[in-house]
Amino acid sequence: MTRRLVVKVTCGAADAERCNQGFTVAAAAVAAGADVSLWLTGEAAWYGVPGRAENFELPLATPLADLLAAVVAGGTVTVCSQCAARRDITGADLLDGVVIRGAASFAEEVLQPEAQALVY
């Protein structure tokens, strides 16, 4: 059985290194063949919207848009429903392959016997 990695990113550009680290770990895990679920919460919810990841800048880091694309292609990407609602983000606003789900879905994922959760 493959261990599922659930990565939750809670911050945005104001904490760029921590934000980028979460995306980097998720994309690296996808590249390694892991079953990856990336959750975008708080200010990171904006990165589920087209054009937002492209505007993220961190010197010497892989572009956030590239990391996000890798996870969308090989894993799942979810925006927190409450975080989306607070920012007036709807499903129609999101990138293809990104969905909105709530805390119950997050809890279900991280409580699976072989799941590993990381929060950034």
Domains of the chain: 4-119 (3.40.1260.10)
pLDDT score of 14 more than 70: yes
pLDDT score of 2 more than 90: no
pLDDT single digits (tens) 30-76: 999 999 999 999 999 999 999 999 999 999 999 999 999 999 999 99
Instruction: Identify which of 56, 58, 67 has the alpha carbon closest to the alpha carbon of residue 24.
Output: 67
pLDDT score of 1 more than 60: no
The DSSP code sequence of the chain is -PPEEEEEE---GGGHHHHHHHHHHHHHHHHTT-EEEEEE-GGGGGGGSTTTGGG---TTS--HHHHHHHHHHHSEEEEEHHHHHHTT--GGGSPTTEEEE-HHHHHHHHTSTT-EEEE-
pLDDT single digits (tens) 78-110: 999 999 999 999 999 999 999 999 999 999 999
Q: Exposed, middle or buried by CB within 10 Å (0-12, 13-18, 19+), for 118?
A: middle
